Amino acid sequence: MQLTQVTLHVGPGTFLPVKVRQVADHHMHSEWFELSPPAAAAISAARAEGRRIVAVGTTAVRVLESAAAGGELSPRCGRTDIFIYPPYDFRMVDALITNFHLPRSTLLMLVAAFCSPGSTAGVEVILRAYAQAVQQGYRFYSYGDAMLIE
């Protein structure tokens, strides 16, 4: 196992509920991110060797997917307003460790997209998982319980 770090300065827009009828009409506020040259090299090497890329947190997913928007992962810093929701084809991330997010949040939509990349089936999958989490008394928010999605 190899670890590397990425940076995303999360703004309040990440936590605003989606209020539009059509998810595609929601506008994400931009946030500053950085994928350093050593981090990009380590992730690219892992990908080339066939190792899985496991993002810890939705913010890490947004950084990696933003930095790979041109097809290849490259070191970058700047602003991103990437909004990931079903259906979405992930370029860089193979697995995700994340906590449980609020309904109608952009973070929950990213998790739903991860559950069934390229389709909208992830919405039903994640809603069933969340119903189970509520039934079992799992904690939500940033310091709550976490899950691994592969």
CATH number reported for the structural domain that contains residue 105 in this entry = 3.40.1780.10
Taking only the tens place, the pLDDT of each residue in 91-130 is 999 999 998 877 788 888 899 888 877 776 778 888 888 8
Decide if 40 is inside a domain.
yes
| Residue entry with tokens 């890329």 | 53
Decide if 1 is inside a domain.
no
Decide if 106 is inside a domain.
yes
Taking only the tens place, the pLDDT of each residue in 44-87 is 999 999 999 999 999 899 999 999 988 889 999 999 999 999 89
This prediction's pTM: 0.87
Structural tokens at position 101: 């997010």
Decide if 2 is inside a domain.
no
Decide if 37 is inside a domain.
yes
> For the chain, how many structural domains are there in total?
1
Helix axes 58-67, 106-115, angle to 10 degrees: 70
Taking only the tens place, the pLDDT of each residue in 5-14 is 998 888 777 7
Decide if 14 is inside a domain.
yes
Q: Which domain holds residue 25?
A: 7-149
